[in-house]
Structure 1
C-alpha cells in the first residue's frame, strides 16, 4: 500500500491497517492517532514527528525506521522490532514496549515515563538523558546500553540485565537494586540517595563522586570498587565487603560499617564520625589500616596495620 493512499483512507475514517507493507514509506508529520498497525512492516520508514498516540503497533517491524520526535504516548509496541531505530526525542509516556526488540536503537532524550519495558531487549541502545521515571524494566536486557544522565527514579529493575551498562550521572534515587549484578558498572556521579543495594554485586564498580546518602548496602560486595569522593552519609554498609575499595575523600558521616570487611580499603582523607572510627578500631569493622585522626589541635595516631589514611571528623 502507498503511504498517500493510507492517509486518504485514514481521513475517510478507516483505522484498521494490520500487517500491511509500508517499508520505506514517507510518513513524517502524519496524523495517525488511534490507528491499528498490528504486525505492520515499517522497516526503514520515515515517521519523524508523526502522531501515533493510542495506536497499536504490536508485533510491528520498525527496524531502522526514523521515529525521531514521534508522539506515541499510550501506544502498544509490545513484541515490536525496533532494532537500530531512531527514536531520538520521542514521546512514549505510558507506552507498552514489553518484549520489544530495541538493541542498538537511539533513544536519547526520549520520554518513557511510566512505560512498560518488561523483558525488552535494549542491549547497546543509546538512552542518554532518557526519562524512565516510574518505568517497568523488570527482566529487561540493558547490557552495554548508555544510560548516562538518565532519570530513573522509581523505576522497577528487578531481574534486569545490567552488565556493562553506563549509568554515569544517572538519577536512581529510591530505586530497588537489591541483589543486582552491577559488577564493573559505571555509576560515577550517579544519584542513588535512598536506594536499596542490599546484597548487590558492586565489584570493581565505578562510584566516583556518587551520591549515596542514606543508601542501604547491607551485605553488598564492593570489592575493589572506586568510591573516591563519594557521599555516603547515613549509608548502611553493615556486613558489606569492601576489600581494597577506594574511599579516598569520601564522606561517611553517620554511616554504619558494623561488621563490614574493610581489609586493605583506602580511607585517605575520608570524613567520618567519631562513632564510625570507634567501630573501625574496635574490630566491629573488620580489616587493617593506619588511621590518622585530626581533631581540634590534637593529633592522635593509631597504628594497627599497613594501610594509611588521613581522617577528618564530621
Structure 2
C-alpha cells in the first residue's frame, strides 16, 4: 500500500487498514489517530515523531521499525512483533503491549508509565532511562536487559525474569520482589526504599551503593552479595539475624565495607 493512498484514505475518514502492507514505508511525522492497523506489515518502516495515539497495532509486524519519539499513548500492540525496533523517546503512557516481542529493542528514555507489558519479551532490550512507573510487567522477560536509571516504582513485577539484567541506578522504591530470583543482578546505586525482598535470591548480586531504607529482607539469600557502600536505616537492622549472608563471617567484613545504617524517626 502506498503512503499517499493511506493518507488520502485517512483524510477521507477511513480508519481501518487491517493487514496493510507498509513495509519500509516512510511515515515520518504522520498523524494517524485511532486507526486500526491490526496485523499490518510495517517491517523496517519509519514512523519517527508520528502521532499514533489510540492506534491498534495488535499482531502487527514492526521488526526494525523506527518509532523514536512517536506518540503512542493508549495504543494497543498486543502480541506485536517489535524485535529490534527503535522506540527511544516514544510516549507510550497506558499503552497495551501484552505478550509483545521487544527483544533487542531500543527504548532509551521512553515513557511507558502505566503501560501493560505483561508477558512481553524484552530480552536484551536497551531500556536506559525508561519510565515504567506503575506499569504491569507481570511475567515479562527482561533477561539481559539494560535498565540503567530506569524508573520502576509502583510497577507490577510478579513473575518477571531479570536474569543478568542491569538495574544499576534504577528507581525501584516500593517494588514487591518477594521470592524473586535476582542472583547476580546488577543493582549498583539502585533505589530500593521500602522494597519487599523477603525470600528473594540476591546471591552474588551487586548492591554496592544501593539505597535500601525500610527494605524487607526476611529470608533473603545474600550469599556473596556486594553491599559496599549500601545504605540502610535502623528499621532494617533486624534482617541481619534473618537473612542468609552465607560466607560473610561478620557484618563489618568486606562485602559491607563502607555501608551505613541511618537512624530514622
Fold in common (TM above 0.5)? yes
Q: 1:1-314, aligned counterparts within 5 Å? A: 1-233=1-233, 234-235=235-236, 236-237=238-239, 238-245=241-248, 246-253=255-262
- Distance between the aligned counterparts of 1:94 and 1:253, measured in 2? 37
- Distance between the aligned counterparts of 2:260 and 2:231, measured in 1? 5
- Distance between the aligned counterparts of 1:253 and 1:60, measured in 2? 51
In the TM superposition, what is the alpha-carbon distance from 1:250 to its structure 2 partner? 1.2
SS in 1 for 2:10: helix
5+ residue gaps in structure 1? 256-314
If each structure's strand is expressed as a fraction of its own residues, which one has the higher value? Answer: 1
- Distance between the aligned counterparts of 2:201 and 2:263, measured in 1? 23
- Distance between the aligned counterparts of 1:20 and 1:75, measured in 2? 17
In the TM superposition, what is the alpha-carbon distance from 1:209 to its structure 2 partner? 0.4
In the TM superposition, what is the alpha-carbon distance from 1:249 to its structure 2 partner? 1.4
In the TM superposition, what is the alpha-carbon distance from 1:243 to its structure 2 partner? 2.0
Contact kept, 8 Å, 1:225 with 1:244, in 2: the verdict is no
Q: Higher Cα Rg: structure 1 or 2?
A: 1
In the TM superposition, what is the alpha-carbon distance from 1:254 to its structure 2 partner? 6.1
- Distance between the aligned counterparts of 1:242 and 1:64, measured in 2? 44
1:51-105 CA distance string (max 9 Å, x none)? 1000100000000001100000000001000000000100000000000000000
5+ residue gaps in structure 2? 249-254
In the TM superposition, what is the alpha-carbon distance from 1:232 to its structure 2 partner? 1.4
Contact kept, 8 Å, 1:204 with 1:226, in 2: the verdict is yes
Q: How many residues align?
A: 255
SS in 1 for 2:6: helix
Relative contact order (alpha carbons < 8 A, sep ≥ 6): 1 or 2 greater? 2
TM-score of the two chains, using structure 2 as the length reference? 0.95
SS in 2 for 1:7: helix
TM-score of the two chains, using structure 1 as the length reference? 0.80
- Distance between the aligned counterparts of 1:210 and 1:57, measured in 2? 39
Pairwise CA RMSD of aligned residues?
A: 1.1
- Distance between the aligned counterparts of 1:229 and 1:87, measured in 2? 35
In the TM superposition, what is the alpha-carbon distance from 1:253 to its structure 2 partner? 4.5
Moved over 4 A (4+): none
